[in-house]
Structures are given as structure tokens and as C-alpha cells.
Amino acid sequence: MCPAIGPGTLGRALPLPDSRKALKALAMVTIATWNINSVRLRADQVERFLREQAPDVLCLQEIKTQESTFPHAVFEAAGYAHRVVHGQKGYHGVATVSRLPLREVSRHDWQDNGEARHVGVELLGAGQGLIVENVYIPAGGDVADRDINPKFGQKLDFLERMTRWADALDRPTLIVGDFNIAPLDCDVYNHKALLKVVSHTPIEVATLGRFRDAHGWEDLGRRFIPAPERNYSWWSYRSYWREKDQGRRLDHMWASPDLAPQALGHRIVEETRRWDQPSDHVPLITEFAL
């Protein structure tokens, strides 16, 4: 008779799931974000960006169109066969396009007003299981007082709702997009001059800080380009601001604590701001080993 082999003994001798995980090659995945300010007007610029930079995933904000008029053919021809579009006619709108398979997992409306400002996806191929949240936080109007300017209050409320949501997240997550807030003193060209300017007011910075702390997000832009190095992502269209390099860091890529160690590099593609008829924002790209 063969000696009995207990299943527990066998299990300890061959911990198969862990072994397979350790042997699996890491996938290099690059993810980009760009407020494009009309994807139809600048479809050729997006195509050029994809050709020159070749990110695996691109998160777009301010596409300014609905799903039915999104320039799908341009992305299809460029090899971005996987697309999730949360659009609306004329305003706002976000889309995530990818060379890797993905599926939509969230389509939040943090203001309950129908504005299309957030879409989340899960990667299914390389980088399988990673959640990529693509968000376009409201600009907030001109006056930093919610009693005078309801849009400013809506911006803060949007962030508070995202904060309660982020507190409960339990999967590796990257959140990217146009946050419309420059949080650090060195994220604007003149900290003191912008303290009362929407995008850099102390209450916005504090509210964004609570969102960060709710999940322990790591600001990849400042991990790879440490303060106080210049790190702008947006310049006004007005020529005298551009000429003086009066920019702000409004666009961000933040990693959850379990994802952050897998980020290998990060850069700003500032040259797009010098193309003809550019977006007022430039793209950011992060490379991960997943």
C-alpha cells in the first residue's frame, strides 16, 4: 500500500499560486492623461501624440462631444481598439482609449447634474486588474466664494464626494486627469499672487489634501519631478501669460499606496503646447511595471 499523503503536506510543499506569481514576467505599461479641449478639433494632434509617445492607455478630458460623434476611426487606425467614452454634447466629457483590453467599471456623476466628468476602467490584458480612474474636476468659476459663485461650491462638493468614495477603495488604482487645482506653492508661477485665484486658493488645496489623505494617494508628478522644480501642465491661451511662462500644474497622476512602488518613470510632454492650435493643457505619461 502506498503511504497516505495528507493534502495539507502537499499544499505546503507546492505553494503553486505564489510560485506562478513570482515567475510571471512583469508587464511594462505606460499610461497618459491629457485635457485635449475638443477631441474632434484636435484628433490629428492626438494621433500624432499616440504615434510619437505610444502610451498603452490614454485618458482624455474635455473631449466636448458625445459618444456617437467621438472620432473612433482615428483611434482605431492608430491601434487603440479599446475605448470607453463618457461624453456629452458640447461640454466636458472624458474618454479612456487603450491598446490593451479593458472594461468600464465606473461612470460617476459627483454633482448629480448630468455632467460627464469621470469614467473608470479595469485593465484586462497586460497590467490585468489595475483600475484607472479618469476624472475632470470642475474649474470652479471665477470667484473663490461659494455664496457668490455656486460653481466654486460645486467644485469643493465634487471633491468631498470623491473623498468619501476614495476612502473605501480596496484595489490598486491610478487616478489621473485635470484636477483644476495646483496644490503646492511651486505649482504656480507666483504663489502669493494666486492665493485668491481659483485653482490655488487655500480652501481648494486643503480640500484636495483631504482627498489625498483619504486613500494615501501618491502624487507621481512630484515623486519624479520633486518640488520646487518647475512642473507646469497648463498655460492660459493669452499670449502675454505664455510668453512669461506663467503656468500652473493642474493635471495630475496619483497612485494608490499598493500601486505607487510600481511606477518607474514619469514625464510631461510640454512640446505639444507649441504645436499649431494646441490644447491649453499638455499630456503627462507614467510608466509602470505591473
Binding residues for DNA, per CB under 7 A? Answer: 37-38, 40-41, 62, 64-65, 89-92, 138-139, 141-142, 151, 180, 190, 193, 197, 236-241, 246, 277
Nearest CA among 51, 49, 57 for reference residue 32? 57
Smallest distance, Å, CB 159 to DNA? 14
Smallest distance, Å, CB 192 to DNA? 8
| DSSP codes, 132-192 | EEEEE-----S-S-TTT-HHHHHHHHHHHHHHHHHTT--S-EEEEEE-----SGGGBS-TG
Q: Check: CB of residue 204 under 8 Å from CB of residue 155.
A: yes
Amino acid at 50: L
- CB nearer DNA, residue 171 or residue 238: 238
Smallest distance, Å, CB 14 to DNA? 56
CB-based burial label for 135 (10 Å; 0-12, 13-18, 19+)? buried
- CB nearer DNA, residue 165 or residue 241: 241
| 65: phi then psi, degrees, rounded to nearest 5 | -155, 165
Q: For the CA atoms of 150, 35, 257, 127, what is the dihedral angle to 10 degrees?
A: 140
- Preceding amide of 261 cis, omega within 30: no
Smallest distance, Å, CB 104 to DNA? 23
- CB nearer DNA, residue 142 or residue 258: 142
| 94: phi then psi, degrees, rounded to nearest 5 | -135, 155
Smallest distance, Å, CB 186 to DNA? 16
CA 255 to chain CA mean position, Å: 10
- CB nearer DNA, residue 197 or residue 269: 197
- CB nearer DNA, residue 128 or residue 246: 246
Task: Give, in order, the Cα–Cα distances in Å from 257 to each of 105, 189, 201, 216, 222.
Answer: 20, 30, 27, 6, 15
| 86: phi then psi, degrees, rounded to nearest 5 | -115, 90
- CB nearer DNA, residue 93 or residue 127: 93
Smallest distance, Å, CB 261 to DNA? 33
- CB nearer DNA, residue 130 or residue 250: 250
Smallest distance, Å, CB 228 to DNA? 19
